[in-house]
A = this chain, B = another copy of it.
């Protein structure tokens, strides 16, 4: 391996810093961690793999994160944030409840296994580790609350008399969606496409 005696003559150096962007490293590592962790699982993934996927080496990772766990937490933080934002966005796009919920459902259960895998990984840690659990629960509640706001508005506008309140209805939607994803991801044939709407129809059909 030869290093070219890189010259240092400043004169003609590119004005724009070809700098190895400061915290972009951090972002890239986190992104890479998302991929690798989703692919091999937290315990199954190695720091070297993450670093490589990000285009760096272990040193970069450890100079940005204290430990593997630290990296994991950072990833969860980032992922949850973007996730909540995505849901929020899809909710804002329409005023029609079924549409909105369908959008949320689609958002929550993207056929993309990556998110499901990661989410479950987070979940597992939350169940096992009280410290993680706190943050996890908070974000879940936040997510459900945001969806519930929309549901609530709809229920108010449409006096479809139903025994359901917004919170519980939201819980059912979110839970059902996740549960279906669990069945459907390894076995796509197992889940007919219109299950969620049909269930919702039954639930909202005034008593």
Q: Considering the chains assembled together, what is the distance between the CA atoms of A144 and B191 in angstroms?
A: 12
Within 8 A of B (CB), among A126-151: 126-128, 133, 136-137, 140-141, 144
Query: A172-195 toward B: CB 8 Å interface, digit per residue (1/0)?
Result: 101111111011011100111001
Which of A42, A133, A190 has its CB near the most chain B CB atoms (within 10 A)? A190
| Residue pair B178, A195 in contact (C-beta under 8 Å) | no
Closest 7 CB pairs of A and B: A175-B179, A43-B43, A179-B179, A178-B179, A137-B187, A175-B180, A126-B186
Query: A91-106 toward B: CB 8 Å interface, digit per residue (1/0)?
Result: 0000000000000000
| Residue pair A144, B190 in contact (C-beta under 8 Å) | yes
Contacts of A41 in B (CB 8 A): 43, 124, 128
Contacts from A to B (Cβ < 8 Å): 39-44, 113, 116-117, 120-121, 123-124, 126-128, 133, 136-137, 140-141, 144, 163, 168, 171-172, 174-180, 182-183, 185-187, 190-192, 195, 198-199, 202-203, 205
12 further A-B pairs in the complex, CB-CB below 8 A; given A120-B120, A120-B124, A174-B179: A39-B128, A117-B127, A117-B128, A120-B182, A126-B186, A127-B186, A171-B180, A171-B191, A175-B179, A176-B176, A178-B179, A178-B182
| Residue pair B43, A190 in contact (C-beta under 8 Å) | no
Q: Considering the chains assembled together, what is the distance between the CA atoms of A64 and B147 in angstroms?
A: 50
With A43-B41, A141-B190, A198-B163 in contact, is A183–B174 under 8 Å at CB? Answer: yes
With A176-B176, A179-B177, A183-B175 in contact, is A124–B128 under 8 Å at CB? Answer: no
How distant is A130 from chain B, measured CB to nearest CB, in Å? 10
